[in-house]
Amino acid sequence: MTDGLSLHPRHRRAIQTLVARHLPEVEVWAYGSRIDGRGHPGSDLDLVLRAPGPTPISRKKLARLKDAFTDSSIPFLVEAHDWALLPRAFRRRIEQKHVVLWDDATGAQ
């Protein structure tokens, strides 16, 4: 885990596969306890999804991805939020400490 994200490789691949299937055009950043050393194997995974441009992600598409996370074999809660809908102060905190989990230009990290 050279990027600092506390996430088993199989769970990382599962998340990347679901993102590729449901929202391949977004960039996905992980933030929170799994990257700042406070996490444990059962901690939730906090994700922010950054669509190209300032437009929010379709609510329907985001809901499908969230449902896919819930229905998957990933053994912890995956929280996914739309960057465009987050308050500016919260965005600044995430910008300071995050790990890119999926890049819309190159695919999996």
Please write the tens of the pLDDT for every residue from 43-60: 999 999 999 888 899 999
In a domain? residue 2? no
- Catalytic residue numbers read 44, 46
In a domain? residue 70? yes
| pLDDT exceeds 70 at position 38 | yes
Report the number of secondary-structure helices (H) and strands (E) in the chain: 4, 5
| Single-letter amino acid, residue 102 | W
Total number of domains in the chain: 1
Nearest to residue 26, comparing CAs of 82, 87, 64?
82
| pLDDT exceeds 50 at position 17 | yes
CA atoms of 61 and 67, how far apart (whole Å): 10
In a domain? residue 1? no
CA atoms of 36 and 10, how far apart (whole Å): 21
pLDDT in tens, 61-108: 999 999 999 999 999 999 999 999 999 999 999 999 999 999 866 666
Structural domain span for residue 90: 9-108
